[in-house]
A and B are shown apart, each in its own frame.
Chain A
Amino acid sequence: MKKNKKPELRAVRRSVATLLLGLGLTACAGPGGHPKDPLEPINRVTFRFNETADRYVMRPAAEVYDLAPLPVKVGVGNFFGNLADVWIGVNNLLQGKFAEGLSDGGRFLVNSTVGMLGVFDIATELGLDKHDEDLGQTLGRWGVGDGPYIVLPLLGSSNLRDTAGLIGDLNVDPVIGIDSPGPRNRVTALRFINRRSQLLGADATAEQASLDKYDYVRSFYIQYRQSQIYDGQPPRVKDPDDEAYMDEATPASPTRKENQE
């Protein structure tokens, strides 16, 4: 609807498309590579760039922001959360989850009015739980495969499906839709920093936990999106690798158990 007014956005979209095409042409899976990550060499370069940008810009900004009093941070988080609820609701409807979709609409109405433009999350208190949906999840729910893993500049982990979803998400995003560039950029930056600050503990843990952070983050993203698509309850599959090694490992354990009893 506002497409014509957004030459920047169009440019972004075109460059993403070109990038994807380019990646597709140069993609070739090396031996022993991850089956979902044929673009690993390029992705690793982007990943390193993102890590550096994060270390010098995003993380320090988030750390400063984190000094703000908790009610302020909560208010900012709620405000952006409220703006997102409309599109979350639409996605719930697109996925056939009508009760959730209606609840999201209700959340937006309650929080935008009684909740002072979304700063207070009254709806959650009333029992209308917040959901987490986006177009990538909707496409996943419709059975669209995730495609190759892609590390996007500054935005981080994604895949072909979720990148397409993201372009759709951004097209209807109320903040990206702000007409004058000054306020738009400032509000976008605030939203970004707010989200980054919520990950301040988790990133340290990932750093410590991983042998190779790139592998760790990639694996995390793949599992995380799968879980999101199923709203936190993906079908439980018995790990094939577990069963296979169970046979070998069990001879020792049952005897041990019997001795204990």
Chain B
Amino acid sequence: MKKIASLLAALTLGIGIQCAAFAQSIAPDALVKSVTDDVITIVRQDKAIQSGDTRKAVDLVETKVLPYFDFAHMTRLAVGKDWRQANAEQKTVLTHEFKNLLVRTYSNALTQYRNQHIDFKPLKAKPEDTDVVVRTEVRQPGAKPVQIDYNLEKQGDNWKVYDVMVAGVSLVTNYRDSFGQEVRNGGIDGLIKSLKDKNKQLETTVSAKK
């Protein structure tokens, strides 16, 4: 009798844990939609961001968007085959600098947001898929709609974005040619230096604007 009770208890506990895990994992398309809606709602109300306050836009991206991105994966994709040459420390620095570059650039793009409408396309994926594309379309009057696709990968229970395609162009692999060129010219350290210089230059233009 005791045995049955403890078995039952274990079973209940097991189901409980499974339910919790189930509730935690949000579907990838729902995730993209909720993050996008969150950010757009804030940008719509924030006059400072609309008038070009990049610092505020960066803060917004860092708190609302960054947790859902896998920058290590993105950097690995951007660097391509030269990634193998980099040691652990260089990989960390590269990831850090590339993240800064992407965040600065695209936070700035956020300040250009003007009432565009975003359509979310139905997700075409099987439940067991661990690598999916969430398709969206940005519509604005008088211009062609721009397709923005997010590539997500399942890590444990969470989905993380590892690539963003704008009009069919990967914002990540688009760097591969110039990164390869930098590595050929000055090795991995040369690439790191160029990224640092670029970020410093963006930093100064941001503060000059303020």
Q: Which residues of A contact B (CB under 8 A)?
A: 32, 34, 70, 73-78, 130, 132, 198, 201, 204-205, 208-212, 215-216, 218-220, 223-224, 226-228, 232, 234, 236, 239, 241-242, 244-245, 248-249, 253, 257-258, 260-261
Count contacts on B: residues with CB < 8 A to the other chain: 45
Interface residues of B (CB under 8 A from A): 72-73, 76-77, 80-81, 83-84, 101-102, 104-106, 108-109, 112, 133, 141-144, 147, 155-157, 165, 167-171, 173-179, 181-182, 184, 194-195, 198, 202
- The answer to whether B173 touches A239, judged by C-beta atoms less than 8 angstroms apart, is yes
The docked-state distance in angstroms from the alpha carbon of A235 to that of B81 is 22
Give the distance in Å from the alpha carbon of A239 to the alpha carbon of B81 in the complex: 11
Total A-B pairs in contact (CB under 8 Å)? 107
Is B76 in contact with A212, judged by CB distance below 8 angstroms? no
A226 to B165, CA, bound (A): 13
Measured between beta carbons, the chain B residues less than 8 angstroms from A239 are: 77, 173
Interface centre among A78, A209, A210, A219 (most CB of B within 10 A): A209
A223 x B105 contact (CB < 8 A): no
Name the CB-closest residue of A to B81.
A241
Chain A residues near B167 (CB-CB < 8 A): 224, 227, 232
> Chain A at the B interface: mostly helix, strand, loop or mixed?
helix
Q: Which A residues are CB-close (under 8 A) to B143? A: 77, 198
Smallest CB separation, A140 vs chain B (Å): 13
* A241–B170 alpha-carbon span in the complex (Å): 14
Decide: B105 and A205 in contact? CB cutoff 8 A: yes
Contact B178 A216 (CB under 8 A): yes
Closest A residue to B101 by beta carbon equals A209
